Amino acid sequence: MIKPLHTALLSGALSLLTGLSAQAAAYQSLDAGNSRIGFEYTQMGVKLDGQFRQFEGHLNFDPAALDKSKVVLKVALNSVDTGSPEADDELQDVRWFDIDAHPQATFTSTAIREVAAQQYEVTGTLQIKGREQAATVLATLKPNGQAAVFSGQFQIKRGDFAIGEGSWSSYDVVANEITVNFQIQAH
């Protein structure tokens, strides 16, 4: 009688461990074609949004080895899409992104730690327009077979990166706060 109970408990424990190891998959590449990096901002009191259509990156994420996990994202600033071709052209100017001198924005992680089940705090350095700022991003992981989606959002201040210089350095027309949101598919 004890033997069948022992076998059932062992079987249940193995099933649980198998389920946990399936959830603890490592992801080593990102799929930019099925990912999105967007942003939200306020202009003249109206909330607007946009996205960057081109970016690339490197990912090595293993929930069992977070100390060795790393992400680097490089966003092509000339791929900005606000829904207005005139605004997109204006953003490439030296007063905004200055894409001739600084064609991309880069986020490089320095540490990743788990803060809750399937939720990770990613700290790193965000570089835009030649300026660097420390950034902390909260990312939620949703596994789906051999793939997973990391999603979240964080806020930056455009003034910290000199985005909008000269007459645009005032925040009365375009607010200083920009919310960046992302859904990054990984394999």
Over residues 163-178, mean pLDDT:
95
Please report which confidence band the pLDDT of residue 43 belongs to, taking 50, 70 and 90 as the band edges.
very high
Fold of 25-186: Lipocalin (2.40.128)
Contact 169, 159 (CB under 8 A): yes
| Residue pointed to by tokens 């076998």 | 7
| C-alpha 159: how far from chain center | 20
Q: Both tokens of residue 24?
A: 């603890």
> Cα(26)–Cα(137) distance, rounded to whole angstroms?
20
Percent of the chain topping pLDDT 90: 86
pTM of the model: 0.84
Average pLDDT of the residues of the chain: 89
Please report which confidence band the pLDDT of residue 24 belongs to, taking 50, 70 and 90 as the band edges.
low
**In the chain, what are the domain boundaries?**
25-186
Residue 2 DSSP SS3: helix
Q: What is the pLDDT of residue 25?
A: 84
Over residues 74-99, mean pLDDT:
97
Contact 75, 50 (CB under 8 A): no
Q: Which helix (H) or strand (E) holds 52?
A: strand 46-52
